[in-house]
Structure 1
Amino acid sequence: MSTSRKKYLLKNTAIFALGSFGTKFISFFLVPLYTNILTTSEYGTVDMISTIGMVLVPLLTLNICEAVMRFSLDENADLNKIISVGICSLFLAIFAGGIIFPVTAKIKSLNEYAVYVYMYAVSLAFSQMFLCYLRGKELLLRYSIGNIIQTFCVALFNILFLVQFNKGIKGYLLAYIIANFVTAMYAMVAGNVFNAMKHFSFDSKLLVQMVKYAIVLVPNSFMWWIMNSSDRLMVTAMVGVAANGIYAVAYKIPTLLSSVTQVFNQAWSYSAIREEGSSDEEKYNNDIYNRLVVIVCICAAGLMMVMKFFLRYYVGAEYYIAWKYTPVLIIGFIFSTLGTFVATAYTVHKDSMGYLVSGTAGAMVNIILNFALIPQMGAMGAALATAASYFIVFYYRIRDTKKYLKLYIWQKRHIFAGTLLLVQAITMFINNPVGQLLLILEFCVMILIYVNDIKQLFFAVTKICRLKNKKEH
């Protein structure tokens, strides 16, 4: 792997890390606030509203923000025309969002929050659109700063509305709405969107191309919503809103793992597009894939080792039981991360159909298993369904993307590591000091499995840093 490749990937990873870890650091300290001020039922309700908002945005905007990002990365892209299409989709979202009111009217627990759900979805559409435009222009530092601003505003206004004014659910949602609009305004200034609006240029041919790319991603977004979020709605319906509040906390823990790997996958997409057609493209992809496996397995093993101790002090006492669902969800998020990496091939080749078919397969498995397992096992059934659906998506994408490049996944050390993670997941249920000691020993074994890979990663990073320092001096 050439040094320039490494530097480009490392630079982008560092920039995305700035935004992601900054936001996660702030969010990390918000969970104790939520779990100590909101009851499990209230937290279950706000989680359900944010879950609905996530699926509404791609429906209301036809997912054009993804097309704005991808088309802006093309050589000789006309950025004014691209963002003009994006702005048109936002006006569509404002009017189409009216469908939220009759829908929420039929859901008893959401009826009084209809206006908040509408404003949450519209504000999220605005922030996502202009943040995607920053990514498309490769203004990645400004994009990361935008994410930090968004999370900082969420924290600031949540403290104000929940602690100072005791606004409960409405205060929680209002904090997100204001934060989203503030972020959208920042991204518009940072991306020079106002200048593009002065030179508004509508290109019907470009609109058709972008819609053709993005429209397929709408059902794909819905399928991913099913895998990521529908289980919480089904837990609410079948078990209760309080159970969903606990499960939602458990769901947040694996996102610590996904936030680390999401940073890498975001940066990797730029490198993959840049390397398309290179003579050693397949070897390069396999090298990066192997390093990603090392990172996710070690992070997952570490999370399982500290999980029960961590939750005992991190969340309110009534949420501590959430640890039971975390080992299954952590394993599921490993496959989600690896599946996202593999799907970069779809982005490179603008194969949105690959996203759709793989997402549909995972969503179908998720729904079937949710209906089968939640009535029998409660929230644990939802966790198992989520993990299984992520595995199906990963497996499908590995097979389907062979038409672009082949990844060699069946390596002995990866198989040993996967087996060890399953053993760790079972060990977590030995709820005594012996079980904790075993978790520590299993984590040490994981380090031994990947000790050579860790050394290679360390030397690669230090080499790049030394070269950078030489150039600066």
Structure 2
Amino acid sequence: MNRAKLFIENFLVYGLGSVISKIVPLIMLPIVTRLMPNTFYYGLNDISNIVVSFGSAIALVGMYDAMFRMFFDKEDIDYKKQVCSTAFYFVTITSIVVFIVLIFFGGFFSKVFFSSYRYTNLLMISALSILIGSTNSIISAPTRMQNKRKIFLITNTLTPIISYCISVPLLLKGMYVMALPFASLLSSLSMLIIFYILNSSWFSIKKANIKVLKQLIKIGLPLMPNFLIYWIFNSCDRMMIAKIMGNSYVGIYGVGARVSSISQFIYTAFAGGWQYFAFSTMKNDDQVQLTSNIFEYLGIISYSATLVLTVFSDHIFKMFFKGEYINGAIIFPYMFLAPLLLMLYQTICNQFLVKKKTWPSALILSCGAIINILANYFLIPLIGIEGAAIGTFLGYAISVLICSIVLTKMKLVSISTRFIVDSFIMVIFFILWRNIAREKIIVSIILALITFGIFVTTYMKDIRLLKRKFLVKSIQN
């Protein structure tokens, strides 16, 4: 298959799937916030998600990415089944261990995460979600690795629908603490059953192999710190807001972050399609230039999308939310671009994984995480939840910058001067918008149009080339 077609098809199909999976929670968000009496309960749900993401990172031990990488090493089906089976039974064991630890020390972890012993039942639900969700990640992997996109679309449609069909009635009954986490648990369980039926032929205890496990651990274990660092990026801000400002502000921040997560439509599409594309083209002669071009194009698309939605962020929140939730608008621009910066990071960082060198990624992300924590520490007391959002944004931006410099020196990527210039212009836009244009819609629009015009001008040659290719193809057809 043509490489451009392969990438675009994967991007669009996984994009549609991600839009479906994310659009339902986004549509339901104003409804959910109105069904809850105050921001405190949404803050508890956000903390529960933090527990699940933390436990899942530990339980998976980097096995998903290691499994994905080794799956493409050989064409032998028996070998592929050995990889899948070994990863599955290993993750099942680690998931059970994490579950038992959380249950056994339930009171302690409830106090750590929820600041109260009252929420041990919520912690139990979170522990079960880790057990089921981590196992589901491995069981569903063969569907991704075989690029079965129709199944991806169907399951991504069903997951949020099942979840909200359960959670809304529970909220109406006044179960504000348990409704969303319990519904998410049951939804994940239903997906586990579906994928087990679809992919059971890929998993057999007889296919589990110690030699394969050693190789999986060799690739996956150095990746584990990466996922823990991702957890710091996604969760440290909420934990620090809870300690410094209280759970009610976590609720405001969580709603702001959830609305901003519409950028994850792009990121999730990329993440779903990128791994298959990257590993299936990793032996091509022009792989470095191909990766570099994709990095730049995705970067410009990310900047442009951020321009448009930043201008209207305050109006979006005032339209759909009431009360204190409106204050979440201030974090929108930073939290919208943050996942897209992560997408850019993973685009080029995958070069380390292609070379089977995973430790540099952990080191680079650690630098970004330290910046994130320091920014949170100093900025949250000064400017509240906006400080936490800026911390997340800066952490990812520094990670992308360091990764670009390292890989350029290793000659594994080639970043053009025009992209560097456009990145600086994007920073200038943020500064000007925040300080002089945020509450002036006309000024904001003019500022965004000028910035977008610069992006178009610097990439005009590529736009014309792409236009000619489409014209030639349309004539040939």
Q: TM-score, normalised by structure 1?
A: 0.89
SS at match of 2:177: helix
Tell me the amino acid that sits aligned with residue 85 of structure 1.
T
Deviations 1:355-396 (A, max 9, x none): 211221122222222223223332222122212211221112
By how many angstroms is 1:317 displaced? 2.5
**Match among 385, 404, 412 for residue 405 of structure 1:** 412
For 2:88, the equivalent position in structure 1 comes to: 87
By how many angstroms is 1:301 displaced? 0.2
Q: Distance in 2 between matches of 1:432 and 1:143?
A: 39
Tell me the amino acid that sits aligned with residue 410 of structure 1.
T
Q: Distance in 1 between matches of 2:257 and 2:160?
A: 19
Answer whether contact 2:335 2:389 (CA < 8 A) is retained. Answer: yes
Q: Distance in 1 between matches of 2:162 and 2:467?
A: 34
More moved, 142-151 vs 381-390: 142-151
Q: 1:267 to 1:196 in 2, by over 3 A?
A: closer
Tell me the amino acid that sits aligned with residue 155 of structure 2.
G
* Equivalences for residues 74-113 of structure 1 within 5 A: 74-76=73-75, 78-88=79-89, 89-106=91-108, 107=111, 108=116, 110-113=119-122
**Match among 132, 140, 161 for residue 131 of structure 1:** 140
By how many angstroms is 1:443 displaced? 2.3
Q: 1:421 to 1:440 in 2, by over 3 A?
A: farther
* Equivalences for residues 151-300 of structure 1 within 5 A: 151-163=160-172, 165-190=173-198, 192-193=199-200, 195-197=201-203, 200-300=206-306
Q: Distance in 2 between matches of 1:202 and 1:334?
A: 37
For 1:314, the equivalent position in structure 2 comes to: 320
For 2:450, the equivalent position in structure 1 comes to: 445
Deviations 1:154-211 (A, max 9, x none): 2222223223x33212111110001101111222233x32x23457312100011101
By how many angstroms is 1:242 displaced? 0.6
Q: 1:465 to 1:41 in 2, by over 3 A?
A: farther
Answer whether contact 2:380 2:387 (CA < 8 A) is retained. Answer: yes
Deviations 1:36-61 (A, max 9, x none): 12221111111011011101012123
Tell me the amino acid that sits aligned with residue 94 of structure 2.
L
By how many angstroms is 1:417 displaced? 5.7
Q: Distance in 1 between matches of 2:157 and 2:474?
A: 26
Tell me the amino acid that sits aligned with residue 446 of structure 1.
T
**Match among 432, 441, 464 for residue 436 of structure 1:** 441
By how many angstroms is 1:344 displaced? 1.9
**Match among 10, 15, 21 for residue 12 of structure 1:** 10
Q: 1:369 to 1:103 in 2, by over 3 A?
A: farther
SS at match of 2:2: helix
Answer whether contact 1:250 1:323 (CA < 8 A) is retained. Answer: yes
Structure 2 regions of 5+ residues with no counterpart? none
By how many angstroms is 1:102 displaced? 4.5
Q: 1:390 to 1:281 in 2, by over 3 A?
A: same
Q: 1:272 to 1:25 in 2, by over 3 A?
A: same
Answer whether contact 1:120 1:177 (CA < 8 A) is retained. Answer: yes
Q: Distance in 2 between matches of 1:454 and 1:150?
A: 41
SS at match of 1:234: helix
Q: Distance in 2 between matches of 1:216 and 1:431?
A: 44
By how many angstroms is 1:328 displaced? 3.1
**Match among 11, 28, 49 for residue 26 of structure 2:** 28
By how many angstroms is 1:419 displaced? 2.3
SS at match of 2:382: helix
For 1:72, the equivalent position in structure 2 comes to: 71
By how many angstroms is 1:273 displaced? 2.2
Answer whether contact 1:131 1:187 (CA < 8 A) is retained. Answer: yes
Q: Distance in 2 between matches of 1:144 and 1:275?
A: 24
Tell me the amino acid that sits aligned with residue 222 of structure 1.
L
Q: Distance in 2 between matches of 1:232 and 1:19?
A: 28
By how many angstroms is 1:420 displaced? 4.4
Asked if 1:391 corresponds to 2:400, the answer is no
Answer whether contact 1:143 1:187 (CA < 8 A) is retained. Answer: no
Q: Distance in 1 between matches of 2:222 and 2:471?
A: 41
Answer whether contact 1:328 1:387 (CA < 8 A) is retained. Answer: yes
Q: 1:166 to 1:274 in 2, by over 3 A?
A: same
Q: Distance in 2 between matches of 1:167 and 1:464?
A: 54
- What CA RMSD, in Å, does the superposition of the two structures yield over aligned residues? 2.7
Identity among equivalent positions (%) equals 17
Q: Distance in 2 between matches of 1:395 and 1:337?
A: 13
Q: TM-score, normalised by structure 2?
A: 0.89
Q: Distance in 2 between matches of 1:12 and 1:45?
A: 36
By how many angstroms is 1:352 displaced? 1.9
Q: 1:187 to 1:387 in 2, by over 3 A?
A: same
More moved, 275-284 vs 348-357: 275-284
* Equivalences for residues 314-393 of structure 1 within 5 A: 314-393=320-399
Tell me the amino acid that sits aligned with residue 60 of structure 1.
A
By how many angstroms is 1:325 displaced? 2.0
Tell me the amino acid that sits aligned with residue 2 of structure 2.
S
By how many angstroms is 1:424 displaced? 4.3
By how many angstroms is 1:268 displaced? 3.0
Q: Distance in 1 between matches of 2:444 and 2:427?
A: 10
Deviations 1:50-99 (A, max 9, x none): 01110101212323222222222333252221221132121331243111
Q: Distance in 2 between matches of 1:432 and 1:97?
A: 46
